[in-house]
Chain A
């Protein structure tokens, strides 16, 4: 059949949540930037009966930075991130990722919420957000709840979001002074490339001791995930190159990549290890 669906264009968040609740949410899909979803619908990978377009839900497009916390509305675009001086300060890894996110026009359309919701292990904003301990707010007609991004995904393209829920915002506590937050991805080319392996890193150091380590890995498992064992090797320790080697190896061992058209699992394991080591070494050099 033709690629047909009902399209709702709510003018407010309330209207959007109402629309998502219709049909018991059985075959309803929220549409943000459309840079994945439109393609998926055209190719029949997604077959929603109803699409809820969020372009006019303007309250979801906002960046709010206080001295304690950063809150990003889910309709904030990748370009909005790049244009924000406050995000540049508060979340360098997010800017690293935004800069190499697809191409210019896609960055103008694609959103933070959409990048999470698409559920791809290659979604470039997710490792940085996970490395920042971001929390996702899910809202529905019946209320809101907050889920740690690290607990959001349950499997390949599967998540905890109910069909009537909408990702409305992403938020995290600001990092302390003595910290490094970075992201590096490998693609098969430099411009407009889907991630082959991606590593986001947060290291917080106080008095020479690693207080917090976050290593979030992209494209090396069914979802983006945190390499918690590798993090554990670093936390509470005085950092050293030996520890970085061990953590990098551990990060690779926590990964479960697949072979696909972009790279082999073997290459992904190799580069997860080398990238993790390199980011840790560079972070340490900056903190020292």
Chain B
């Protein structure tokens, strides 16, 4: 595809029959009727109920653990402590997914001696009923002797600070350098420096972590679990000390993931208990368990120094990023790398220095969350763009316009994205749709803001990502798709169906998709990193195309025409130049079946492979490609109370090509809610590492009364690496929302709040300070 020919008005060059339509998702009717079983809906005869005993101090020594009373409670069947896991540890570093060598970042499965974060599991209880398990939870006795902890990454880096990880608490560092940033900043007309703070965030999926495990007749531990990553079966096997082929993950449709079910959650506890008791065991986290039981979004501190010319051209940039990795490493190094790569945003910065560090503390561990470091960077760089524009006394969009990275130009790592870069088109369309601002009144101030972004899709290319999918046609013309891909709610599996039927010329109601079983569905990789459509969609398309090719060849013989004359659509096979020559799809399939023509295919799609980035300069390829887009926001700020109402929220993204239009819009609308909460209301408050907001009445995501109707503008450059030129939207949907809101608030009240979330309290404080300064 020629990049030069991509324009914002590009129209699809083929008419698709299925792709691009807002078809009813294959999984929707069952969910609407309450017929879809989630992982927590399965039960088995003789099933035991589990609870997890957790530490209630963040940094402590376990000096006594006595489960005698709990064990003695009638109905308690088994209690496991660190003594029962024989010093085994669990991997936290993208374990088991790629076969690559892992970092030494393992985590104790149950507290042996040292508690490093609030909520760290100490013991596992299995009982005949929930009531008994709950009662036993209160009978487990333990003493924790507090040990000085560290709860601030800057403190954690100081000499003499308590050590949580390694020798100095620094768990990851990344550098990106190009050009001569020192010289550029020294010679700039103007250098603007600001520091931005982004907070912890909870995924807040509605379905808490849950699973059911049992050992089958082959001594295989089966785990029916809500997860984004069935490939964890390997890490689970390692953790419990059995061969990889003795653990089988059977997923279910997931009640929300957002990265929070990307790490192992309940699986190892279930597997251990199923092995120990020989009985089926079920573990469902309470909401409070969920709040303290899985990793959060990394808080970032980001300091930007931006050098510009008087006419608004960025000449150099220096960025320092500090991330709180919490008590264990998990995916911190990768999240940090995403942040570093994204640091300059969708702008051309020839002279760049990025230095990023992730530091361990006794806070809750932090790991994957939709946006994965890239969105924290965006929260800073897009506020910084507005601040620089303000210093230049220039319109913020005009300032951006003078600096946009264009199609064919290199990003921070020197890599040239292979697809279109339509930042400008997205910004202009979003801003135009926002329209004239509502009129401010006495104490209600109106503000408008924009934010653009660059967000990767697909995993880090040095991880050598692959994905498999199988497509087959049954003898009655129905289609089966098999893939290990997990569906976390965005329509991942329905999209595979839509791709397969487009290629095969049939319709979506004729497809059944089997997914998410580590033993019997071909492994697709993970549903993370905005990769499911890109990776598994391509695999599905390859498999369907292989089947179509064989069917077409047979049809061409039947009609005595060339293969390229065969048209397959809406369950009919016909000849392009002679539509009278046609047959039902099912009849062609029957002919093929009777002749032994292979009607199925297993395909593997391989993402581009690269070496690791240059460790000193960060130059090289980090990701397969990038998505670009923008969010425009209008807010009303009550200057008496600090309340913010989002009046308009407009998202414009170049998604390459829609597969399911309604699903794409839905992802964007949902990402907008997530970003709005991050910007305004969602706050995880910790006291000495202890979470003091562990419920949905304290941790406040936007409700139906808080959300505007989100307007979505879809641009289709058809230039992406995914099937039919698609890109991905899972993470990008969220990335620009918070800075757009922050910019709108700053526009409304004339003062910027450098720390998210922008609470009413912070607004009042900022307004008072502004008043005092005047």
Q: Closest approach, in angstroms, between the C-beta of B200 and any C-beta of chain A?
A: 13
In the complex, whether B697 has a CB less than 8 A from a CB of chain A is: yes
Q: Is the CB of A261 within 8 A of B703?
A: no
In the complex, whether B131 has a CB less than 8 A from a CB of chain A is: yes
In the complex, whether A193 has a CB less than 8 A from a CB of chain B is: yes
Q: Is the CB of B760 within 8 A of A188?
A: yes
Q: Is the CB of B760 within 8 A of A189?
A: no
Q: Is the CB of B760 within 8 A of A2?
A: no
Contacts of A245-288 to chain B: CB distance below 8 A: 261-264, 267, 270-271, 274-275, 278
Could you mark each residue 150-181 of chain A with 1 if its beta carbon is under 8 Å from any beta carbon of chain B, else 0?
00000000000000000000000000000000
- A192 cross-chain contacts in B, Cβ below 8 A: 697, 703, 705
A189 touches which of B134, B685, B706, B764 (Cβ 8 Å): B706
Q: Is the CB of B641 within 8 A of A188?
A: no
Could you mark each residue 693-729 of chain B with 1 if its beta carbon is under 8 Å from any beta carbon of chain A, else 0?
1000110101111100000000000000000000000
Q: Is the CB of B703 within 8 A of A190?
A: yes
Q: Is the CB of A191 within 8 A of B703?
A: yes
Q: Name the residue of chain B whose CB is nearest to the CB of A103.
A: B703
* A3 CA to B134 CA, complexed, in Å: 9
Q: Is the CB of A267 within 8 A of B760?
A: yes
Q: Is the CB of A274 within 8 A of B685?
A: no
Q: Closest approach, in angstroms, between the C-beta of A90 and any C-beta of chain B?
A: 26
- B443 cross-chain contacts in A, Cβ below 8 A: 278
- A17 cross-chain contacts in B, Cβ below 8 A: none
- Report, as a range, how many residues of chain A touch the other chain: 20 to 34
In the complex, whether A109 has a CB less than 8 A from a CB of chain B is: no
Q: Name the residue of chain B whose CB is nearest to the CB of A262.
A: B698
* A190 CA to B646 CA, complexed, in Å: 11
In the complex, whether B549 has a CB less than 8 A from a CB of chain A is: no
B703 touches which of A2, A189, A194, A275 (Cβ 8 Å): A189
Could you mark each residue 489-502 of chain B with 1 if its beta carbon is under 8 Å from any beta carbon of chain A, else 0?
00000000000000
In the complex, whether A1 has a CB less than 8 A from a CB of chain B is: yes
- B693 cross-chain contacts in A, Cβ below 8 A: 261
- B681 cross-chain contacts in A, Cβ below 8 A: 188-189
Chain A CB within 10 Å — which of B645, B698, B760 has the most?
Answer: B760
Q: Closest approach, in angstroms, between the C-beta of A185 and any C-beta of chain B?
A: 10
In the complex, whether A233 has a CB less than 8 A from a CB of chain B is: no
A188 in contact with B131 given A261-B693, A267-B760, A271-B641 (CB within 8 Å)? no
In the complex, whether A21 has a CB less than 8 A from a CB of chain B is: no
In the complex, whether B138 has a CB less than 8 A from a CB of chain A is: yes
In the complex, whether B643 has a CB less than 8 A from a CB of chain A is: yes
Q: Is the CB of B759 within 8 A of A188?
A: yes
Q: Closest approach, in angstroms, between the C-beta of A263 and any C-beta of chain B?
A: 6
Q: Is the CB of B643 within 8 A of A186?
A: yes
- A271 cross-chain contacts in B, Cβ below 8 A: 640-642, 760, 764
- A264 cross-chain contacts in B, Cβ below 8 A: 761
* A2 CA to B764 CA, complexed, in Å: 46
Q: Is the CB of A191 within 8 A of B706?
A: yes
Q: Closest approach, in angstroms, between the C-beta of A28 and any C-beta of chain B?
A: 22
- B759 cross-chain contacts in A, Cβ below 8 A: 188
Chain B CB within 10 Å — which of A191, A196, A264, A275 has the most?
Answer: A191
Q: Is the CB of A191 within 8 A of B705?
A: yes
Q: Is the CB of B641 within 8 A of A275?
A: yes
Q: Is the CB of A186 within 8 A of B703?
A: no
Contacts of B615-665 to chain A: CB distance below 8 A: 640-643, 645
Q: Closest approach, in angstroms, between the C-beta of B740 and any C-beta of chain A?
A: 19
Q: Closest approach, in angstroms, between the C-beta of B72 and any C-beta of chain A?
A: 13
B641 touches which of A1, A186, A261 (Cβ 8 Å): A186
- A191 cross-chain contacts in B, Cβ below 8 A: 702-706
Q: Is the CB of B697 within 8 A of A194?
A: yes
* A192 CA to B699 CA, complexed, in Å: 12
A2 in contact with B700 given A186-B643, A190-B705, A264-B761 (CB within 8 Å)? no
Chain B facing A: main interface SS:
loop
Q: Closest approach, in angstroms, between the C-beta of A74 and any C-beta of chain B?
A: 24
* A192 CA to B703 CA, complexed, in Å: 7
* A30 CA to B70 CA, complexed, in Å: 32
Q: Is the CB of B134 within 8 A of A2?
A: yes
Q: Closest approach, in angstroms, between the C-beta of B705 and any C-beta of chain A?
A: 3
- A188 cross-chain contacts in B, Cβ below 8 A: 681, 700, 759-760
Q: Is the CB of A2 within 8 A of B135?
A: yes
* A47 CA to B760 CA, complexed, in Å: 36
- B132 cross-chain contacts in A, Cβ below 8 A: 2
- A270 cross-chain contacts in B, Cβ below 8 A: 764
* A263 CA to B698 CA, complexed, in Å: 11
Q: Is the CB of B138 within 8 A of A1?
A: yes
* A191 CA to B701 CA, complexed, in Å: 10
Q: Is the CB of B641 within 8 A of A274?
A: yes
* A186 CA to B642 CA, complexed, in Å: 10
Q: Closest approach, in angstroms, between the C-beta of A173 and any C-beta of chain B?
A: 32
* A196 CA to B134 CA, complexed, in Å: 33
In the complex, whether B692 has a CB less than 8 A from a CB of chain A is: yes
Q: Name the residue of chain A whose CB is nearest to the CB of B692.
A: A261
A278 in contact with B764 given A193-B700, A261-B685 (CB within 8 Å)? no
* A190 CA to B132 CA, complexed, in Å: 39
- A189 cross-chain contacts in B, Cβ below 8 A: 680-681, 700, 702-703, 705-706
* A267 CA to B759 CA, complexed, in Å: 11
Q: Is the CB of B135 within 8 A of A263?
A: no
* A278 CA to B442 CA, complexed, in Å: 12
Q: Closest approach, in angstroms, between the C-beta of B644 and any C-beta of chain A?
A: 10
Chain B CB within 10 Å — which of A103, A189, A264, A267 has the most?
Answer: A189
* A53 CA to B697 CA, complexed, in Å: 25
* A261 CA to B759 CA, complexed, in Å: 12
Q: Closest approach, in angstroms, between the C-beta of A164 and any C-beta of chain B?
A: 30
Q: Closest approach, in angstroms, between the C-beta of A121 and any C-beta of chain B?
A: 15
- A263 cross-chain contacts in B, Cβ below 8 A: 760-761
Q: Closest approach, in angstroms, between the C-beta of B764 and any C-beta of chain A?
A: 6
- A267 cross-chain contacts in B, Cβ below 8 A: 642, 760-761, 764
* A103 CA to B681 CA, complexed, in Å: 18
* A189 CA to B134 CA, complexed, in Å: 33
Contacts of B754-774 to chain A: CB distance below 8 A: 759-761, 764
- B705 cross-chain contacts in A, Cβ below 8 A: 189-192
* A2 CA to B132 CA, complexed, in Å: 7
- B135 cross-chain contacts in A, Cβ below 8 A: 1-2
Q: Name the residue of chain A whose CB is nearest to the CB of B697.
A: A194
Q: Closest approach, in angstroms, between the C-beta of B413 and any C-beta of chain A?
A: 39
- B764 cross-chain contacts in A, Cβ below 8 A: 267, 270-271
* A193 CA to B698 CA, complexed, in Å: 9
Q: Name the residue of chain A whose CB is nearest to the CB of B135.
A: A2
Q: Name the residue of chain A whose CB is nearest to the CB of B685.
A: A261
* A264 CA to B680 CA, complexed, in Å: 16
Q: Closest approach, in angstroms, between the C-beta of B648 and any C-beta of chain A?
A: 16
* A278 CA to B638 CA, complexed, in Å: 12
Q: Name the residue of chain A whose CB is nearest to the CB of B677.
A: A189
Q: Closest approach, in angstroms, between the C-beta of B87 and any C-beta of chain A?
A: 34
Contacts of A190-208 to chain B: CB distance below 8 A: 190-194, 196
Contacts of A217-265 to chain B: CB distance below 8 A: 261-264
* A270 CA to B759 CA, complexed, in Å: 14
B706 touches which of A186, A190, A194, A278 (Cβ 8 Å): A190
Q: Closest approach, in angstroms, between the C-beta of B403 and any C-beta of chain A?
A: 35
Q: Is the CB of A2 within 8 A of B131?
A: yes
* A267 CA to B705 CA, complexed, in Å: 23
* A186 CA to B698 CA, complexed, in Å: 15
- A103 cross-chain contacts in B, Cβ below 8 A: 703
* A274 CA to B442 CA, complexed, in Å: 13
- A186 cross-chain contacts in B, Cβ below 8 A: 641, 643, 760
Contacts of B131-158 to chain A: CB distance below 8 A: 131-132, 134-135, 138
Closest 4 CB pairs of A and B: A191-B703, A191-B705, A274-B640, A190-B705
Can you name 17 extra interface pairs (CB under 8 A) apart from A186-B760, A191-B704? Answer: A2-B132, A3-B134, A188-B681, A188-B700, A189-B680, A189-B700, A189-B703, A190-B645, A190-B706, A191-B702, A193-B700, A261-B698, A267-B761, A271-B640, A274-B640, A275-B641, A278-B443
5 cross-chain CB contacts under 8 A: A188-B700, A261-B693, A270-B764, A271-B640, A271-B641
